[in-house]
């Protein structure tokens, strides 16, 4: 299993841990399926009233789709098989509150999870970036998710600067992506504290509030996502060329702002 689930029946809080620290918690096809199953299971588990999602280890929350995952694509610019589209709670019709606790790097496909959380808590060493353009890929869904959480200029800069820049937890807090910055190693604890408070409130009121907040931006997000498949199909380099760029990457060489 690549996703670890723990539930405290007394508090009503479940913790979802991406558990591939040796791969920086990147999402392979097995993990994608396990995440989908977890969110759908929580829909029916009345003992779970709020959820925290985090990553194992200190180096990364999640670094997106595993580079070794093989995802065959249909031969059409209007259809893209994207295994990450069903990895988030809202995509699986879960309207219980979800809080993300970010440790280390969060980049690329991690934004499918961060984009569908109610809010984000990060430790002070967390960083956020979008590597797509560096490796010849269109940042479509990821940028759309982040455009729901950050000012336009910040989203555009992050997507276009690729691996050359990383947003610090402090900057992420300043622009509204992160709601709280904690001392190193304390993000999960802080997120669980919030989840316990929320879980203690009447369930119907909480879930109705979650649904109302998302209703404010759901239509715009859904409309934007309909453009993603053909933008990705038309703009992405062939997989072998992407792999060449990824293999040629250098350690370091980025700025944290």
Q: Where are the domains of the chain?
A: 3-184+225-256
pLDDT value for 68? 80
CATH class of 3-184+225-256: alpha beta
DSSP assigned state of 43: H
Give the three-class secondary structure for 21: helix
Radius of gyration of the chain (CA): 17
pLDDT tens digits along 169-222: 999 999 999 999 999 999 999 999 999 999 999 999 999 999 999 998 888 888
Q: What is the pLDDT of residue 244?
A: 86
- The tens digit of pLDDT for each residue in 163-174 reads 999 999 999 999
Q: State the Cα–Cα distance between residues 129 and 111, nearest whole angstrom.
A: 10
At residue 151, the pLDDT reads 96
Distance (Å) of CA 163 to CA 65, 167, 183: 16, 11, 25
Distance CA 176, CA 174 (A): 6
- Spans of the chain below 50 pLDDT: none
Phi, psi of 8 (to 5 degrees): -100, 105
* Separation between Cα atoms, residue 253 and residue 165, nearest integer Å: 9
Report the C-alpha gap between 104 and 42 in whole angstroms. Answer: 26
pLDDT at residue 77, rounded to an integer: 67
In this prediction, residue 232 carries a pLDDT of 81
Ordered DSSP codes for 227-246: THHHHHHHHPPPHHHHHHHH
Q: What is the 8-class DSSP label of residue 23?
A: G
For residue 48, what are its two tokens?
A: 């779970």
């Amino acid at each position: 299993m690549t996703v670890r689930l723990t539930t405290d029946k007394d508090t009503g809080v479940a913790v979802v841990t991406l558990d591939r620290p040796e791969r920086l918690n990147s999402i392979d096809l097995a993990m994608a399926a396990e995440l989908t199953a977890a969110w759908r299971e929580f829909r029916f588990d009345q003992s779970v009233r709020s959820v925290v999602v985090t990553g194992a280890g200190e180096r990364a929350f999640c670094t997106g789709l595993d580079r070794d995952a093989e995802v065959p694509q249909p031969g059409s610019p209007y259809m893209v098989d994207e295994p990450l589209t069903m990895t988030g709670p809202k995509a699986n019709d879960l309207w219980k509150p979800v809080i993300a606790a970010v440790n280390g790097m969060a980049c690329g496909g991690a934004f499918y999870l961060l984009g569908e959380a109610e809010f984000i808590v990060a430790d002070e060493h967390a960083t956020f970036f979008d590597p797509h353009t560096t490796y010849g890929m269109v940042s479509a869904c990821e940028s759309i998710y982040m455009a729901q959480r950050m000012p336009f200029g910040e989203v555009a800069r992050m997507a276009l600067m690729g691996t050359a820049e990383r947003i610090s937890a402090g900057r992420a807090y300043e622009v509204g992506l992160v709601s709280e910055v904690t001392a190193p190693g304390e993000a999960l604890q802080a997120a669980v504290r919030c989840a316990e408070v929320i879980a203690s409130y009447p369930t119907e009121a909480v879930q109705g509030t979650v649904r109302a907040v998302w209703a404010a931006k759901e239509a715009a997000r859904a409309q934007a996502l309909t453009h993603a498949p053909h933008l990705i199909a038309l703009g992405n380099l062939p997989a072998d060329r992407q792999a060449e760029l990824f293999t040629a990457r250098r350690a370091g060489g980025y700025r944290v702002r």
